[in-house]
């Protein structure tokens, strides 16, 4: 092999990459939080909304699930320009992942809602709780427990999807920072290898802490 | 040089040829992924923990790192080891191994879902291990995991969009090239999205239907 590894510049810029990892986590967590809210609304629209609402939810869900995530980010980054909206790469990535998360989670939540027995709703209603309070205090907690595992998987996907930001020119997340350093130094393998290790660590740490959290939250 | 060029039939044809590239890479990667996946899946399902765990651990790495980074790393091997492999081969291998990481778990869940008693019965009727796997376990497991395998194949199809980063002109990249000429990103991207949708949605529906039908029996 006629290749000499140069690890020193990578070690030197490790702090920069760690900051990038923080931005990655920030985007993934935001996209997950907003996506969850939209996913619940989408699932409810499909369950109990009218024909129009249900059809709109269908369009959202099927587009999110049947086209590449990168395509969705492109559509927001380049496509919204046609409406005179100038979206920077950070928002395009965040909106794209949020859209994708919401579509996938909506299907998960639909399954989760049907796992909560209908009798629970009726019992809560006959105890005098309103529709919204029934949803908030009775149905949602049980539904979220049923889909917790699927949600942690989606969060890992969310973290991995943030790497797509570099394709629309994002330079602040982990992949973006790595690509910037790569362009300057041409140490492609070394930088991306360290980035790969960081991504692996992030997803493992997240998975393990989610498992610990689940064992505390769902003791009963 | 003229401005305001509108979308022509040639642009559509160009995008369709991009779609053909997408399909070709998908087929090759799914083929690699499935054959490796069956191999590793059988190994994981039927071997002691000191073989099963390392395979699982190594394949888990491929599922925990963004595909984009894997593509860049694979592509850098090409120049590091002076392999001179065509980019298509790099893309198919990388996606294939990525698919294998998911397929292994699918195959494993299918094989462990076949009752041990059934497998033992086959063996005691005189079938060898290989005969039993080919004519008892795999057919039964296929029935169980076929819907998730379809999901995997569609996932790989969507992930092929990432190979544009290492310089392959597939559907998404071809739509981007058309956009630079036509200057109507929303229209061109919508057409690309429609092509993706038409490639994915019917197969996804078929998978969901098969899942429903096979669950009843």
Q: Is the C-alpha dihedral spanning A113, A114, A120, A121 positive or negative? A: positive
- Write out chain A in H/E/C secondary structure: CCCCCCCHHHHHCHHHHHHHHHHHHHHHHHHHHHHHHHHHHHHHHHHHCCHHHHHHHHHHHHHHHHCCHHHHHHHHHCHHHHHCCCCCHHHHHHHHHHHHHHHHHHHHHHHHHHHCCHHHHHHHHHCCCCHHHHHHHHHHHHHHHHCHHHHHHHHHHHHHHHHHHHHHCCCCCHHHHHHHHHHHHCCHHHHHHHHHHHHHHHHHHHHHHHHHHHHHHCCC
Residues of A in contact with B183 (CB under 8 A): none
B21-57 pLDDT, tens digit each: 999 999 999 999 999 999 999 999 888 899 999 999 9
- Give residue B2's pLDDT: 46
Distance CA B140, CA A133 (A): 47
Helix A148-161 and helix A89-115, axial crossing angle in degrees, nearest 10: 170
Query: Out of A71, A160, A193, whose CB is closest to B66?
Result: A160
Q: Does residue B208 contact residue A62 with C-beta atoms inside 8 Å?
A: no
Q: Is the pLDDT assigned to residue B89 strictly greater than 80? A: yes
Say if the Cβ atoms of B162 and A75 lie within 8 Å: no
Task: Over range A157-166, report the average pLDDT.
Answer: 95
Helix A188-217 and helix A174-185, axial crossing angle in degrees, nearest 10: 170
B184-202 pLDDT, tens digit each: 888 999 999 999 999 999 9
Query: Out of B69, B76, B185, whose CB is closest to A81?
Result: B185
Q: Does residue A40 contact residue A109 with C-beta atoms inside 8 Å?
A: yes
Residue A21: which domain range?
16-217
How many domains does chain A divide into? 1
Residues of B in contact with A83 (CB under 8 A): 186
Say if the Cβ atoms of B172 and A78 lie within 8 Å: no
**Residue A63, domain member (yes or no):** yes
**Residue A201, domain member (yes or no):** yes
Phi-psi region of B4 (alpha: psi -120 to 50; beta: other; left: phi over 0): left
Q: Domains plus CATH for chain B?
A: 9-216 (1.10.3720.10)
A:B CB pairs within 8 Å: 109
**Residue A181, domain member (yes or no):** yes
- Give residue B135's pLDDT: 93
Say if the Cβ atoms of A161 and B193 lie within 8 Å: no
CATH number at residue A134: 1.10.3720.10
Question: How far from the centroid of its chain's Cα atoms is residue A3's Cα?
Answer: 38
**Residue A64, domain member (yes or no):** yes
B129-174 pLDDT, tens digit each: 999 999 999 999 998 899 899 999 999 999 999 999 999 999 999 9
Distance CA B170, CA A140 (A): 42
What lies within 8 Å, CB to CB, of B164 at 6+ separation is A70, A167, B170, B172, B173, B176
Distance CA B138, CA B134 (A): 6
Residues of A in contact with B176 (CB under 8 A): 74, 78
Of the ranges A33-42, A112-121, B175-184, the best mean pLDDT one: A33-42
**Residue A11, domain member (yes or no):** no
Q: Work out the end-to-end distance of chain B between its first and last CA atoms, rounded to an integer number of angstroms.
A: 64
Query: Residue A184, class by beta-carbon neighbours within 10 Å (0-12 exposed, 13-18 middle, 19+ buried)?
Result: exposed
Q: Is the pLDDT assigned to residue B3 strictly greater than 80? A: no
Say if the Cβ atoms of A163 and B69 lie within 8 Å: yes
A77-114 pLDDT, tens digit each: 988 877 888 889 999 999 999 999 999 999 999 999 99
How many Cβ atoms from other residues are within 10 Å of residue A82's Cβ? 14
Residues in chain A: 220
Say if the Cβ atoms of B197 and A66 lie within 8 Å: yes
Picking from A46-55, B49-58, B108-117, which range would have the lowest pLDDT averaged per residue? A46-55
Q: Return the DSSP state at B81.
A: T
Q: Does residue B196 contact residue B171 with C-beta atoms inside 8 Å?
A: yes
Q: Which 3 state secondary structure label does DSSP give B120?
A: helix
Task: Over range B60-81, report the average pLDDT.
Answer: 92
**Residue A90, domain member (yes or no):** yes
- Give residue B94's pLDDT: 95
Query: Out of B81, B82, B172, whose CB is closest to A70?
Result: B172
**Chain A residues touching chain B at CB-CB below 8 Å:** 1-3, 62-63, 65-71, 74-75, 78-83, 156, 160-164, 166-167, 175, 188-189, 192-193, 195-196, 199-200, 203-204
> Please, how many CA atoms are within 13 Å of residue A206, restricted to the half-sphere of its CB?
23
Say if the Cβ atoms of A71 and B192 lie within 8 Å: yes
Say if the Cβ atoms of A71 and B193 lie within 8 Å: yes
Say if the Cβ atoms of B196 and A65 lie within 8 Å: no
Closest CA to B66 of A181, A108, A70: A70
**Residue A3, domain member (yes or no):** no
Say if the Cβ atoms of B64 and A62 lie within 8 Å: no
**Residue A78, domain member (yes or no):** yes
Alpha helices for B65-170 (secondary structure H): 67-80, 87-113, 116-124, 129-132, 138-159
Q: Which 3 state secondary structure label does DSSP give B101?
A: helix
Distance CA B35, CA B100 (A): 8
Q: Is the C-alpha dihedral spanning B79, B83, B84, B85 positive or negative? A: negative
């Amino acid at each position: 092999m006629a290749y000499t590894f140069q690890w020193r510049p990578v070690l030197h810029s490790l702090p920069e990459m760690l900051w990038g990892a923080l931005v990655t986590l920030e985007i993934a967590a935001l996209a997950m939080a907003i996506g969850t809210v939209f996913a619940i609304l989408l699932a409810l629209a499909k369950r109990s909304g009218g024909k129009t609402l249900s059809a709109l939810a269908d369009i959202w869900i099927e587009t999110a699930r049947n086209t590449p995530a990168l395509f969705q980010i492109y559509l927001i980054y380049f496509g919204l320009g046609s409406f005179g909206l100038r979206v920077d790469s950070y928002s395009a990535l965040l909106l794209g992942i949020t859209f994708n998360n919401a579509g996938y989670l909506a299907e998960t939540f639909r399954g989760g809602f049907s796992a909560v027995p209908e009798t629970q709703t009726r019992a809560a209603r006959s105890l005098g709780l309103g529709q919204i309070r029934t949803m908030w205090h009775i149905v949602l907690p049980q539904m979220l427990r049923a889909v917790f595992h699927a949600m942690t998987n989606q969060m890992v996907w969310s973290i991995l999807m943030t790497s797509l930001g570099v394709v629309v020119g994002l330079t602040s997340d982990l992949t973006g920072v790595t690509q910037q350093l790569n362009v300057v130094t041409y140490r492609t393998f070394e930088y991306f290898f360290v980035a790969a290790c960081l991504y692996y660590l992030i997803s493992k740490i997240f998975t393990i802490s989610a498992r610990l959290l689940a064992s505390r939250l769902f003791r009963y | 040089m003229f401005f305001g060029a509108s979308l022509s039939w040639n642009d559509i044809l160009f995008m369709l040829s991009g779609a053909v590239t997408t399909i070709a890479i998908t087929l090759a990667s799914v083929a690699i992924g499935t054959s490796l996946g069956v191999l590793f899946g059988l190994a994981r399902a039927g071997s002691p923990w000191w073989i099963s765990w390392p395979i699982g651990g190594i394949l888990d790495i491929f599922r925990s790192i963004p595909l984009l980074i894997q593509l860049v790393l694979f592509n850098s091997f090409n120049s590091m080891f002076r392999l001179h492999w065509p980019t298509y081969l790099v893309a198919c291998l990388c996606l294939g191994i990525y698919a294998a990481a998911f397929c292994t778990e699918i195959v494993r869940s299918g094989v462990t879902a076949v009752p041990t008693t059934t497998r033992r019965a086959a063996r005691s009727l005189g079938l060898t291990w290989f005969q039993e796997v080919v004519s008892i376990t795999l057919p039964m497991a296929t029935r169980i995991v076929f819907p998730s395998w379809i999901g995997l194949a569609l996932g790989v199809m969507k992930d092929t969009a990432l190979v544009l980063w290492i310089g392959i002109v597939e559907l998404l990249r071809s739509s981007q090239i058309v956009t630079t000429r036509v200057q109507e990103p929303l229209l061109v991207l919508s057409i690309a999205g429609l092509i993706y949708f038409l490639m994915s949605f019917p197969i996804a529906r078929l998978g969901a239907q098969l899942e429903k039908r096979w669950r009843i029996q």
